[in-house]
Amino acid sequence: NSVFHHVVQAPEDPILGVTVAYNKDPSPVKLNLGVGAYRTEEGKPLVLNVVRKAEQLLVKDSSRVKEYLPIVGLADFNKLSAKLILGADSPAIRENRVTTVQCLSGTGSLRVGGEFLARHYHQHTIYIPAPTWGNHPKVFGLAGLSVKTYRYYDPATRGLDFQGLVEDLRSAPSGAIVLLHACAHNPTGVDPTSQQWEQIRQLIRSKALLPFFDSAYQGFATGNLDSDAQSVRMFVADGGECLVAQSYAKNMGLYGERVGALSIVCGNADVAGRVESQLKLVIRPMYSNPPIHGASIVGTILKDSSLSQEWTIELKAMADRIISMRHQLLDALHARGTPGDWSHIIKQIGMFTFTGLNSEQVAFMTKEYHIYMTSDGRISMAGLSTKTVPHLADAIHAAVT
Ligand code: PMP
């Protein structure tokens, strides 16, 4: 009795599904470490003060209207976003060879970039790290690219498999696209050192591979916006081309506002102009033009030096709280005499710790301790607090002994 009667129930999203299960659990001690969203010490979502201020300014400005933005979004926002990731003194920006379009957060920026490459780039193979954010293969696959992986994480060291990474990129076909996490790799929390980044850069350039950076955590890894952009800036400083997808979900706490940008650094200004004209043809039939509110908040903050300064302080406080959670969790495991080497908890950076716990151990912790996380053992450090660290440490201890 329905034309859709054949439609089968789809599985929950592996990450967002964790929250669905968490919401159903009546336990008062339940803890959600699945989704990567910042929480305060009190376990509450955080709206930055500077964001509230910017919103007040926007409300008071009666000249603001609700007209459509251009297809490429808010011009100020685009310029400021490129400066934020590439650096205020970037020669590529000065030479007008960067085109930036406002997109629907990080995901939308990756998708628009992927669709553009599928239409206009000669190589349709994109290499993504193994493992990576679970949405990457789907975003690029649906954009029309052929997705392959390169080795990234070594479970034995809970660190980078640098040798494997180099071997896999070395044997990639010339021109292939390579997805790189700009910093704070999700889910592993493992980033290359700057020497390793330099070797990766040389390898990528020598094989004419095309780097596509995913920058979802600028400022969240170290607390410093410039440090967290170093990888991208190395690849722009050499004069070569690349793509960068930026998200303001984490670093400005604008998750649901869906604010992001795609920048394509091109060889010259002429090419950049033509690339932008084609990006418009990708965007127009997808969603016509992006939403105005979130990008206006970001624009208001980034164009005002005192608001920007306030932002960096609040951003650093979020990063520092996460780093402090790492130390507290490691100390709590040491205090319990939990067997094994847990030093990776403080070596890994960014929002997540890749604990090394297997899916049975994760299932045990959920069943017995009401702690929710993805089955790969990834925990969001931003969801922890001083109050909940002991509960998590008890659960990990019980799971491994
Ligand atoms: N890339 C990575 C690596 C991420 O972790 C995320 C968010 N979880 C995103 C992109 C995109 O997030 P959003 O679309 O919310 O900006």
Q: What is the pLDDT of residues 139-160, one digit of tens each?
A: 999 999 999 999 999 999 999 9
Cβ–ligand 1 distance for 215 under 6 Å, the answer no
One DSSP character per residue, 379-391 reads EEGGG--TTTHHH
What are the beta bridge partners of residue 149?
128
Cβ–ligand 1 distance for 140 under 6 Å, the answer no
One DSSP character per residue, 347-361 reads HS-SSEEE----HHH
User: What distance in angstroms lies between residue 2's CA and the mean position of ligand 1's atoms?
Assistant: 36
Residue type, 88: A
User: What distance in angstroms lies between residue 11's CA and the mean position of ligand 1's atoms?
Assistant: 20
**Is the pLDDT higher at 16 or at 64?**
64
- Of 80, 131, 140, 94, nearest to 308 by C-alpha is 80
Could you give the 3-state DSSP secondary structure of residue 77? helix
Ligand 1, atom nearest to 136 Cα: 1
**Are 227 and 392 spatial neighbours (Cβ–Cβ below 8 Å)?**
no
User: What distance in angstroms lies between residue 394's CA and the mean position of ligand 1's atoms?
Assistant: 30
Mean pLDDT of the chain: 96
Rounded Cα gap, residues 46 and 37, in angstroms: 9
- Per-residue pLDDT tens digits for 37-68: 999 999 899 999 999 999 999 999 999 999 99
Taking residues 175-204, what's their average pLDDT?
97
Other C-beta atoms closer than 10 Å to the C-beta of 152 total 22
Quick one: pLDDT at residue 75?
Answer: 98
**Are 398 and 369 spatial neighbours (Cβ–Cβ below 8 Å)?**
yes
Cβ–ligand 1 distance for 249 under 6 Å, the answer yes
Q: How confident is the model at residue 329 (pLDDT cuts 50, 70, 90)?
A: very high
Quick one: pLDDT at residue 196?
Answer: 98
Q: How confident is the model at residue 12 (pLDDT cuts 50, 70, 90)?
A: confident
Quick one: pLDDT at residue 13?
Answer: 82
Q: Which residues are tagged catalytic?
A: 133, 214, 250
Q: Work out whether strand 242-247 and strand 31-32 pair parallel, antiparallel, or are unpaired.
A: unpaired
CB crowding 68-93: b at 16 or more within 10 Å, else e: ebebbbbeebbbbbbbbbbbeebebb
Cβ–ligand 1 distance for 51 under 6 Å, the answer no
Q: How confident is the model at residue 190 (pLDDT cuts 50, 70, 90)?
A: very high
Indicate if the pLDDT at residue 14 is higher than 90.
Answer: no
Indicate if the pLDDT at residue 36 is higher than 90.
Answer: no
Judging by beta carbons within 10 Å of its beta carbon (0-12, 13-18, 19+), is residue 344 exposed, middle or buried? Answer: buried
In degrees, to the nearest 5, what angle opens at C-alpha 215 toward C-alphas 326 and 255?
75
- Per-residue pLDDT tens digits for 150-189: 999 999 999 999 999 999 999 999 999 999 999 999 999 9
Indicate if the pLDDT at residue 265 is higher than 90.
Answer: yes
Quick one: pLDDT at residue 321?
Answer: 96
Name the closest-CA residue to atom 11, ligand 1. Answer: 106
Name the closest-CA residue to atom 9, ligand 1. Answer: 106
% the chain with pLDDT above 90: 97
User: What distance in angstroms lies between residue 30's CA and the mean position of ligand 1's atoms?
Assistant: 25
**Are 359 and 375 spatial neighbours (Cβ–Cβ below 8 Å)?**
yes
Ligand 1, atom nearest to 104 Cα: 14
**Are 211 and 180 spatial neighbours (Cβ–Cβ below 8 Å)?**
yes
Quick one: pLDDT at residue 33?
Answer: 95
Q: Cβ contacts of residue 149 below 8 Å, gap of 6+? A: 127, 128, 129, 130, 132, 168
Indicate if the pLDDT at residue 367 is higher than 90.
Answer: yes
Could you give the 3-state DSSP secondary structure of residue 33? coil
Quick one: pLDDT at residue 17?
Answer: 84
% the chain with pLDDT above 70: 100
- Catalogue the E-assigned strands of 2-124: 31-32, 98-104
Q: What is the pTM of this model?
A: 0.96
Could you tell me the two tokens for 132? 């990576």
* Candidate of 33, 81, 135 to mutate for ligand 1, largest count of ligand atoms within 8 Å of Cβ: 135
* Candidate of 231, 247, 258 to mutate for ligand 1, largest count of ligand atoms within 8 Å of Cβ: 247
Judging by beta carbons within 10 Å of its beta carbon (0-12, 13-18, 19+), is residue 205 exposed, middle or buried? Answer: middle
CB crowding 268-297: b at 16 or more within 10 Å, else e: eeeebeebbeebeebbeeeeebbbbebbbb
Indicate if the pLDDT at residue 8 is higher than 90.
Answer: yes
* Candidate of 133, 185, 191, 262 to mutate for ligand 1, largest count of ligand atoms within 8 Å of Cβ: 133
Quick one: pLDDT at residue 15?
Answer: 82
**Are 384 and 392 spatial neighbours (Cβ–Cβ below 8 Å)?**
yes
Taking residues 200-221, what's their average pLDDT?
97
ipTM above 0.85, yes or no: yes
